[in-house]
């Protein structure tokens, strides 16, 4: 493998990593704070994607500048994710925190299936594509290979912004401190006067907004279609486990590992492509059973 090929593979890997991070970071946050494996995450991702594609198509048919798609998709995804997150946490999840994990899993799975049917009802079965934003941003040449600027500049930029923003929010704001405290020890935090219900509502809503954003940013690069959410659940779960439960930085590192692993697999042994996320997960868990950034949980009696 010469240096050119190596560089190209790294670039492909990083572009893919930023997509993976955007998909998985919301699930990581929710799992870390609420200890709920949120299967509905894939549904929020798909809703965000459909909405973004819908907005993109509306902008294109109205003859407006494709650049409008960028702010519109952020606002649209934030609103859809926000509303969905608030409603589902307040009226469904709140009643199952004390229940068995299996039940929690089933409930979020049910939400996922309902959302999938909603997509079918609203958008039908045909794939939609709204790629005018990607076209408008054009391509940049790297070593003679044209790359979409959207994928190698914008998406990694958004991923880094998200990571930095979340870090700042969790470590440098009062709300963030409340969330980390509740994640660390819910009982102690409640005893200190933290309203855990409100923290959960906030966390879940942030997670949902992030999922919808992940879908919204993916939409211009791909056709949105039925079933697109299901794949994301498994991938996100692999990231969550590899990162260490609730570790946002871990999710970023894992996403980069998975992205690079995948692109090098495609360059060297394409047959290994689908295995890479799980292969990486297995390697990491063999060496660090609590994940890359995970800590040993003390069991409270």
Partner 1 sequence: MMGTSNPLRPLGRAFLAGVCALGIGTAGAADKPEQIDIGISAFLSGPASVFGEPARAAAEIMAERINANGGIHGVPVNLSFIDEGAGSAHLLSEYRRLVQSEDYDVMFASISSGNCLKVAPLAEDLEVINLMWDCGTQRVFEEGDYNYVFRTQANATPEMLASVLYLLKTHPDFETIAVVNQDYAWGRDSWNIFRTALQTLKPDVEVVAEFFPKFGTPDFSTEITRLLAMRPDVVLSTSWGGDLDNFVRQAKQRGLDERSTLVLPLAESSLERLGEDMPTGAIVGARGDHYYAHPGYADDEKFNEFVSSFREKTGNVPIYSAFHMVQAFDALQAAYDRAIEANGGEWPDTEALADAFEGLSFRGATSEITIRPADHQGLEDQMLGTAKQVEGKDIAELCDITVFPAEAITTPAGEDSTEWLKGLSADLLDTDVTTYPGCH
What does the binding site for partner 1 look like in residue numbers (CB under 8 A)?
A: 4-5, 8-9, 11-13, 15-16, 19, 120, 124-127, 129, 131, 134-135, 139, 144-148, 151, 218, 221-223, 225-228, 231, 262-263, 266-267, 270-271, 273-274
What whole-number distance in Å separates Cα of residue 261 and Cα of residue 273? 8
Asked if 2 and 73 count as a contact pair (C-beta separation under 8 A), the reply is no
Q: Token pair for residue 76?
A: 């649209």
Angle in degrees, CA 270, 274, 279, rounded to 5 = 105
Taking the C-alpha atoms of residue 280 and residue 65, their distance in angstroms, rounded to an integer, is 42
Residue (124 or 165) nearer to partner 1, CB: 124
Q: What's the closest the beta carbon of residue 17 comes to partner 1, in angstroms? A: 11
Q: How far is the CB of 99 from partner 1 (least distance, A)?
A: 29
Q: Residue 126 or 298: which CB sits closer to partner 1?
A: 126
Dihedral over alpha carbons 92, 29, 116, 13 (to 10 degrees): 180
Q: 159 near 18, Cβ under 8 Å?
A: yes
Sequence-distant (≥ 6) Cβ neighbours of residue 139 within 8 angstroms: 146, 147, 148, 149
As measured in angstroms, the least distance from the Cβ of 82 to partner 1 is 24
Residue with Cβ nearer partner 1 (205 or 254):
254
In the complex, minimum distance from the CB of residue 135 to partner 1, in angstroms, rounded to a whole number: 7
What's the rounded Cα separation, in Å, for the pair 301 and 299? 7
- Residue closer to partner 1 (CB basis): 13 or 48: 13
Least CB distance from residue 86 to partner 1, whole Å? Answer: 28
Which C-beta is closer to partner 1: that of 11 or that of 170? 11
36 CB neighbour count, 10 Å cutoff? 21
Report in angstroms how near the CB of residue 22 gets to partner 1 at its nearest: 12
Distance of CA 153 to the CA centre of its chain: 18
Q: Pick between residue 7 and residue 295 the one whose CB is nearest to partner 1.
A: 7
**DSSP character at residue 97:** T
How far apart are CB 112 and partner 1 at their closest, in Å?
14
């Amino acid at each position: 493998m010469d240096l050119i090929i190596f560089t190209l593979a790294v670039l492909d890997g990083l572009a893919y990593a930023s997509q993976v991070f955007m998909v998985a970071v919301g699930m990581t946050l929710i799992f870390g704070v609420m200890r709920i494996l949120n299967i509905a995450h894939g549904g929020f991702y798909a809703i965000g994607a459909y909405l973004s594609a819908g907005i993109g198509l509306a902008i294109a048919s109205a003859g407006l500048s494709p650049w409008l798609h960028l702010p519109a998709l952020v606002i649209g995804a934030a609103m859809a994710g926000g509303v969905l997150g608030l409603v589902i946490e307040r009226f469904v999840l709140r009643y199952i925190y004390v229940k068995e994990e299996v039940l929690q899993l089933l409930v979020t799975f049910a939400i996922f299936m309902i959302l999938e049917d909603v997509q079918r009802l609203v958008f039908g079965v045909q794939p939609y594509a709204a790629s005018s934003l990607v076209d408008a941003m054009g391509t940049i040449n790297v070593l003679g290979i044209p790359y979409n600027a959207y994928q190698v500049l914008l998406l990694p930029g958004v991923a880094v912004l998200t990571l930095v923003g979340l870090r700042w929010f969790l470590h440098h704001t009062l709300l963030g401190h409340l969330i980390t405290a509740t994640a660390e020890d819910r009982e102690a935090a409640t005893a200190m006067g933290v309203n855990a219900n409100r923290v959960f509502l906030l966390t879940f809503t942030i997670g949902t907004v992030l999922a919808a954003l992940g879908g919204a940013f993916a939409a211009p690069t791909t056709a949105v279609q039925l079933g697109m959410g299901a794949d994301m659940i498994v991938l996100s779960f692999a990231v969550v486990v590899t990162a260490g439960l609730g570790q946002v930085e871990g999710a970023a590192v894992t996403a980069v590992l998975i992205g690079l692993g995948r692109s090098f697999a495609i360059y060297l042994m394409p047959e290994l492509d689908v295995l890479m996320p799980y292969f990486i997960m297995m390697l990491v868990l063999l060496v660090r059973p609590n994940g890359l950034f995970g800590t040993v949980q003390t069991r409270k009696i």
